[in-house]
Amino acid sequence: MLQNLNLFALAIALFIGSLPTRAQQRLTDQVNVFLGTSGDHGQLSPGASSAFHQMNIAPQTSPHLHAGYEHYAKKILGFTHNRFEGVGCMGSGGLLLVQPYLGDSVHVWNKAQEQAGPGFYEVHMKEDLEARFAVHENVGVHQYSFKKGKKGIKLVLNHAFNGAFVSNTYSIQQDGLLLGQIKAKTTCHVGTYTIYYAIALPEGTVRRSEQLVDVVLPMELEEVNLKIAFSAVDEASALQALQKNQGEDYQSLKNRSQQHWEEQLSHIVVKGDAERQKLFYSLFYRTLQSPYQTSEENGAFRGTDGNLHRAKGKRYHGWAIWDNYKTQLPLLALAFPKRYQDISSSIADLYRYGKYDFAGPHEPANSVRTEHAAVVLLDAKKKGFDVDVRGITDSLIKDTTRFDFSKPDKYLEAAYDMWAMAQLVPRDAQRYVDRSKTYASIWNKEFKDISKRDVDRMSARNMYQGTIRQYRWNVPYDVAGLTQLIGGKAILTKQLDDFFDNHYFNRANEPDIQSPTLYYASDKPWRYQSLVQELALDTVVQYYFNDNSRGIDPHIDRIYKNEPKAFVRTMDDDAGAMSGWFVMTALGLHQPLVGEPIYYVNVPLFPAVTLGKGRSAFTIEVINFGDKNRYIQRIRLNGKDINRLWLRHDEIAKGGRLEIEAGADPSTYGADTLWISDLSNVNSRQRQ
């Protein structure tokens, strides 16, 4: 008998020992949603959110900040919905303000303690109020725990950040359901979007006015739940989502949301330093909050024409393409190929139903910018995604008539789009190639001479949030031609060294975010490998800020810190653009030219990385891993030495094993087989 018990105990011990640890099981526990939530160090909030959905519930702190939330503020005015995290201008979203109150009227609450994670937010007030929020997809639950006595909940239906409210209509049904639609200005107040909502009001006496619903709660009631659902299609769809989740309470919805977040985060598994893992997953989390799924289960969605349409796959909206097309979107294509098929189809739909550089009058969700959408579609097509170019060719061509060649920075960007158009519309390839080649004349005129007095002044010559030094590198489609214009590889190397050694690089925004990749075209390709790790992990010196200033004194600190005052001062995360750069660096992959499915390789920030799942999982192992070992000595793909410092998308997408041997000293490995973009090769590729 004793022997059997011992065997049973041994079996139990072995079983428990075989289970993964909690840290391994729960990637959500490694996410710090308070990263970047103080001041203008990311413009993020710790709000309850769901991956790729627009429902988001977060506190509105006081005094008012354009991000809506300040981590160190103690006063809370209420709780709002639908923040577009990390975007610029004066913040975005913040609809439908909910204000719990004690006594007879609304007052400001004083925060005592808060905690939050993917899918939930909880706060305890000094005035004996507990508020908890959970979000799963487009459904949210408010749970308030009051003390006995007079109390209520007010819903301010015309609330939105920074005067973005346009209109609201609503009705209250006999069963206490509030149905309505709210229109608000998009980010930067450029266009208008509509959200349809359904709210299950708690038990109580309802008092209403044009834009206010006040629910006076029973005095003896101590716990109150308010449920809300969103739809980008119509009120009926919002109501259906609400009814489908009527059995959910705070805890059950929180559990569902965390399970969903866990599944999304597990698309990339990194193993290494525990604190760096927490930073990684905190930033990876931010890349998964947008774009938003705007279609319903039956495929119904609203286009930018305001009309209802149907699709076989899911449809998304909420774009910040100008900001994140070089980082976040390539990351999603690698980690979520099935979802990215629908994302790329949704971008194509912009041309089908009405595309605007920023936003139009009938956006199905809050949005920012869509410049370079054609580049993104070319990139998706070359990566093997199904893009209906033929069905939108006329609209693509029409869109080129709006390209802006009037300013130096805009000229380079428009020429980039023309490069993409040459490959999307082969029948007009020569015309578009010829137009893209004209960048050389504007580059020689505006960017060649860096001895002029204004080359370090932000927004000089009417450019957008950048300097001449920063924008001059923005020719990713013709680095070979750019090198010739500069005067050859030796001068390119000298000017890159000057640019980075003297801290002309602007990490507060995206104008030169791809510039480190130019080192792979220089005499020092190894400098790229150390530089990206320096920017990701080390202290940087930053002179340029998003208030269009070049500071007298620099900001000196790490860019990526796992704390509320993260990032560089004035640096927005820009819908995952900046977080995405770190994640890609951590994977050891950066795309130097969106539109060409090539990735430059650097030593990852972890000794082991797994990208994707199942048979298509791509594993990366670093041999001789160490923070001082930042230089590549050798690369093997599936056991074979490839003698190059770059990979093709299809090599990663089909799965396999990459071994990167790292060392402390620069190496010439792969220097003779570097891939460099060359505009003169576009026509030959078109003929293939």
pLDDT at 1: 45
Q: Is 684 helix (H, G, I), strand (E, B) or coil?
A: helix
Contact between residue 83 and residue 56 where contact means Cβ atoms under 8 Å apart: yes
Main-chain dihedrals φ then ψ at residue 224, nearest 5 degrees: -130, 135
Which residue ranges make up each domain of the chain?
33-266, 269-681
Q: Measuring CA to CA, how many Å separate 166 from each of 181, 182, 386?
A: 11, 8, 37
Q: How far apart are CA 660 and CA 622, in angstroms?
A: 5
pLDDT at 174: 85
Q: How far apart are CA 382 and CA 675, in angstroms?
A: 16
CB atoms within 10 A of CB 23: 12
DSSP string computed for 361-386: TTBSS---B-TTHHHHHHHHHHTT--
Question: Two tokens at 406?
Answer: 């009037």
The maximal CA–CA distance of the chain, rounded, in angstroms, is 92
Q: Find the DSSP H helices in 187-249.
A: 235-244
The residues pairing with 154 across neighbouring beta strands, listed in sequence order, are: 99, 214
What lies within 8 Å, CB to CB, of 322 at 6+ separation is 368, 369, 370, 371, 372, 510
Which residues of the chain register pLDDT less than 70? Answer: 1-24, 683-688
Question: Two tokens at 39?
Answer: 């001041």
Q: Measuring CA to CA, how many Å separate 405 from each of 326, 400, 401, 439, 449?
A: 21, 11, 10, 10, 20
Summarize pLDDT for 199-247 with one digit per residue, the tens.
999 999 999 999 999 999 999 999 999 999 999 999 999 999 999 999 9
- H or E element in which residue 152 lies: strand 151-156
Q: How far apart are CA 584 and CA 575, in angstroms?
A: 15
| CATH architecture for the domain at 33-266 | Distorted Sandwich (2.70)
Domain spanning 269-681: which superfamily? GH92 mannosidase domain (3.30.2080.10)
pLDDT at 153: 97
3-class SS letters over 289-357: CCCEECCCCCCEEECCCCCEEECCCCCEECCEHHHHCCCHHHHHHHHCHHHHHHHHHHHHHHHHHCCCC
Main-chain dihedrals φ then ψ at residue 601, nearest 5 degrees: -105, 135
Contact between residue 633 and residue 671 where contact means Cβ atoms under 8 Å apart: no
Q: How far apart are CA 250 and CA 239, in angstroms?
A: 19
Summarize pLDDT for 4-58 with one digit per residue, the tens.
444 444 344 433 343 444 445 799 999 999 999 998 888 999 999 999 999 999 9
Q: How far apart are CA 19 and CA 2, in angstroms?
A: 26
3-class SS letters over 89-143: CCCCCCEEEEEEEECCCCCCEEEEEEEEECCEEEEEECCCEEEEEEEECCEEEEE
Contact between residue 185 and residue 192 where contact means Cβ atoms under 8 Å apart: yes
- pTM reported for the whole predicted model: 0.95
